[in-house]
């Protein structure tokens, strides 16, 4: 327990305290300090304008989730219910894409988006991040759909329902915990991404993780501003995870039983 506190809790407490410290107080050995919220106003002004990066992160992450989940759910359903040609090979191929380092995938995208005039745009980030999280979402959602008895679908098909009606009116409500769980993990992966964003952006579409590098100066790191930005990065994740906690627990538990 003590090791857990030192490794996880203590760094969070240090970041929280540093976010409300003056620059001169960061390097003092004294524990006492005068709290200030000036750091949060400082990161909103030029040349940082972290609020613009926050908007970029929200738009890119939410768009990635909104695009990924419907496509991944349909793909997971087809993999679960239909035995297509080279079914197992396609499943392995989908999973194998997760083994590739992101930098190997993003460099061809960089050349393509540069030639298309889409470099440093949110659309470029959304396309690449959707492509990277899609295999993960397909495999996770497929695991939950596999648990649903096929007899339910056969009864609905006999009654005249189409495959799309079965998927959207029966399968998706039952597999909702798994779909939400996949959405949470896709949001986290997109929100915390650094490699893709740092290669595909330069100014207009910069996200929060990349913005952290703005506070690394030759004269030293601006720890108080880094910590304030770190709070802005962590806060949406805490709020999002807390709001979706009920579905997350149900989804991960069901996945473990699988």
List, for residues 247-258, the tens digit of each pLDDT value: 666 554 544 444
For residues 140 and 255, is the Cβ–Cβ distance under 8 A?
Answer: yes
Q: Is the pLDDT of residue 46 over 60?
A: yes
DSSP-assigned letter for residue 209: H
For residues 222 and 211, is the Cβ–Cβ distance under 8 A?
Answer: no
Work out the average pLDDT over 85-109: 81
What are 114-161's pLDDT values in tens digits? Answer: 999 999 999 999 999 999 999 999 989 998 888 888 888 888 888 788
How many residues would you count in the chain? 258
Q: Is the pLDDT of residue 39 over 50?
A: yes
pLDDT for the residue 112? 94
pLDDT for the residue 157? 83
Which domains can be identified in the chain, with CATH numbers? Answer: 50-257 (1.10.3720.10)
pTM of the predicted structure, to 2 decimals: 0.85
């Amino acid at each position: 327990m003590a090791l857990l506190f030192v490794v996880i809790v203590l760094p969070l407490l240090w970041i929280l305290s540093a976010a409300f410290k003056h620059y001169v107080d960061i390097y003092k050995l004294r524990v006492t300090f005068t709290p200030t919220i000036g750091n949060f106003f400082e990161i909103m002004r030029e040349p940082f304008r972290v609020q613009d990066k926050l908007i970029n992160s929200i738009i890119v992450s939410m768009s990635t989730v909104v695009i990924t989940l419907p496509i991944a759910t349909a793909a997971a359903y087809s993999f679960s219910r239909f035995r297509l040609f080279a079914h197992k090979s396609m499943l392995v191929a989908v999973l194998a894409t997760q083994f590739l380092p992101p930098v190997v995938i993003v460099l061809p995208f960089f050349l393509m988006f540069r030639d298309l005039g889409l470099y440093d745009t949110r659309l470029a980030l959304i396309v690449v991040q959707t492509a990277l999280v899609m295999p993960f979402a397909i495999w996770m959602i497929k695991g939950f759909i596999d648990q649903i008895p096929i007899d339910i679908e056969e009864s609905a098909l006999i009654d005249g329902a189409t495959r799309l009606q079965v998927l959207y009116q029966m399968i998706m409500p039952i597999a909702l915990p798994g779909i939400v769980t996949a959405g949470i993990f896709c949001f986290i992966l997109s929100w915390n991404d650094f490699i893709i964003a740092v290669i595909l952006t330069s100014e207009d579409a910069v996200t929060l993780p990349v913005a952290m590098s703005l506070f690394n100066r030759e004269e030293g790191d601006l720890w108080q501003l880094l910590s304030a930005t770190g709070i802005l990065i962590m806060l949406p994740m805490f709020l999002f995870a807390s709001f979706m906690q009920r579905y997350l627990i149900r989804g991960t538990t069901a996945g473990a039983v699988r």
